[in-house]
Structure 1
Amino acid sequence: MHREFDLELDLTGLDSPMPMLKTKEALDQLQVGQVILVKTTAIGSEQNIRNLINNQPVTLRSFNKQNGVFHFVIEKAPALTA
């Protein structure tokens, strides 16, 4: 797991879909290669953020759940060109 992050988003306590929306906003601002740690407690966030990851130029570096908090470590990847 990454120990250093370019950005850490503590979205604990927010209801779905706010964690996913705020994660997308943050990812849009990152440069390629930057890493973000997202923390959320919203039950629907695990699937919502996984769906977001599958539709963005990003890589999920790690995921775990500790004491009811989901931790996503996401790296911005280069955009795919057609």
Structure 2
Amino acid sequence: MRAAADIGQQLTTWRKLLGLTAEQVADRGGISRDTLRRIEHGDPGVNFAAVLSVARGLGVLDAIVTATDPYETDLGRARADQT
């Protein structure tokens, strides 16, 4: 799945930009180094909670939540009163 690969690469880039080792990020996320490797390589079978834990450990979880909030879009705001 292309999206999993893209997200994995973006989380890897965040880790490197922050100067963190894979071991540090795995520890912050409470996951194994192997699970982090699978996430960073775009394995779509990784537990979603593990991906969110890594995002939290990198400080980007709020950005992911905001990016998927329908009320942050013109369409979502326009139709908010219809729900």
Give TM-score, length-normalised by structure 2.
0.29
Give TM-score, length-normalised by structure 1.
0.29
- Which protein shows a greater Rg? 2
Structure with more of its chain in helix, by fraction: 2
